[in-house]
Amino acid sequence: MDLIRIDHFRGFEAYWAVPEGETTAMNGTWVEAPGEAFFKAVQAEFGSLPILAEDLGVITPEVEALRDQFGFPGMKILQFAFGSDHMNPYLPFNCVRNCLMYSGTHDNNTTVGWFETISDYERDRVLRYIGGLSADGIHWGLIRLAFTSIANQAIVPLQDLLGLGSHARMNTPGEAEGNWAWRYRPEMITQDLRHRLRELTRMCARAPLHWYQ
């Protein structure tokens, strides 16, 4: 099933309005948005809405209520899961089924690059959670976490499947240059990689039904 990702979903509940002529975005106010009316109108026209809500960052209960009112899945990022304690909402055991689990998104470092730069505390928590670093590498550890989670969908960037470091990062938010330049070559997708991903997909019941027949 295809999904349409709505970036900055919280703007459908309330948005930060800055008066014309201001030189800084700090001088603004929160304005209530007609999100409920908007989605009801779209739903009345098209029926079920294949929408994924990008609900990262500081999200209020009102935003969550709007998301859940229409049954939109939210986003969970494994790279965000290990910097605090067991209450972290991105840990797989705290996730709901109606969500989409990522190892990381296009705005994150690659998993290999991320693991090389996190704090000792965070690294220790990651390794204890996945049972230690295997010869497969940290990227396959997080890929397995994403696929074996209860999330209805899971997405893994190609850079993580290939086990690439920070040089392959797609985007760094806030930096105007040097982004969206990484490309892969067909020969990088080896038969071994295809087989490994296919078998993990089947084992975790994320494959199309005809794969099991």
Query: Strands, DSSP E only, in 14-66?
Result: 14-17, 29-32, 51-53
Sorted by sequence, the CB contacts under 8 Å of residue 35 that are 6+ apart come out as: 12, 13, 66
Among candidates 73, 75, 90, 74, which has minimal Cα distance to 129? 90
CA distances from 147 to 27, 43, 142, 198 (A): 43, 30, 9, 12
Choose the catalytic residue: 2, 7, 32, 177. Answer: 7
Active site residue 54: yes
Distance CA 3, CA 75 (A): 12
Active site residue 36: no
User: Can you say whether the dihedral through the CA atoms of 153, 98, 202, 108 is positive or negative?
Assistant: positive
Q: Alpha-carbon dihedral of residues 32, 38, 40, 45, nearest 10 degrees?
A: 180
Active site residue 68: no
Choose the catalytic residue: 36, 54, 64, 122. Answer: 54
The residues that are catalytic are 7, 54, 107
